[in-house]
Amino acid sequence: MLRFERSDDRNILIISADGPLKETDFKEFARQIVANTPAPRPLHLMLRTESFPGWESFEAFEAHLRFVSEHHRRIEKIAVVTDSTLLKVLPHIASLLVHPKIKHFDLAETNIALTWLEISR
């Protein structure tokens, strides 16, 4: 399940993951991206989770791939804030495939991640 928190003054959407991701999570995520992308400024995201949540079903995995394909150009930066070993590696791989600049931060570095998101490329 995904939870969304908007930081209007910073142009940052904070996404927290608790439990396996559902197909409906990505429909809501897409709605949040469209609603929170202030033209002409691209959006910055913070993905925050203690561990890799996985997907509830194959349909949820497909919805995740569709979401990335359809929305990655609206996003300039993604801070992945986690202590998960797997999620520490994935940003390096994902940055080769999608538009946003992606960087990993440990959970204890949440404020550093916010500062990184606020600074222009």
Domain chopping of the chain, boundaries: 2-118
Tens digits of residue pLDDT in 49-81: 988 888 999 999 999 989 988 888 888 888 999
Tell me what pLDDT residue 70 has: 87
Domain 2-118 has CATH 3.30.70: no
> Residue 38's Cα: distance from chain center in Å?
17
Where is pLDDT greater, at 97 or 71?
Answer: 71
Q: Residue type at 38?
A: P
Which helix (DSSP H) or strand (DSSP E) does residue 3 occupy?
A: strand 2-7
Tens digit of each residue's pLDDT (9 = 90 or more) over 3-34 = 998 876 677 899 999 889 999 999 999 888 87
Q: What is the pLDDT at residue 72?
A: 80
pTM of the model: 0.84
CA distance linking residue 29 with residue 15, whole number of Å: 9
Band the pLDDT of 115: cuts 50, 70, 90.
very high
Q: Euclidean distance between the first and final Cα of the chain, in Å?
A: 30
Model confidence pLDDT, tens digit, residues 30-52: 888 877 766 666 789 999 998 88
| Cβ neighbour number for residue 2 with a 10 Å cutoff | 19
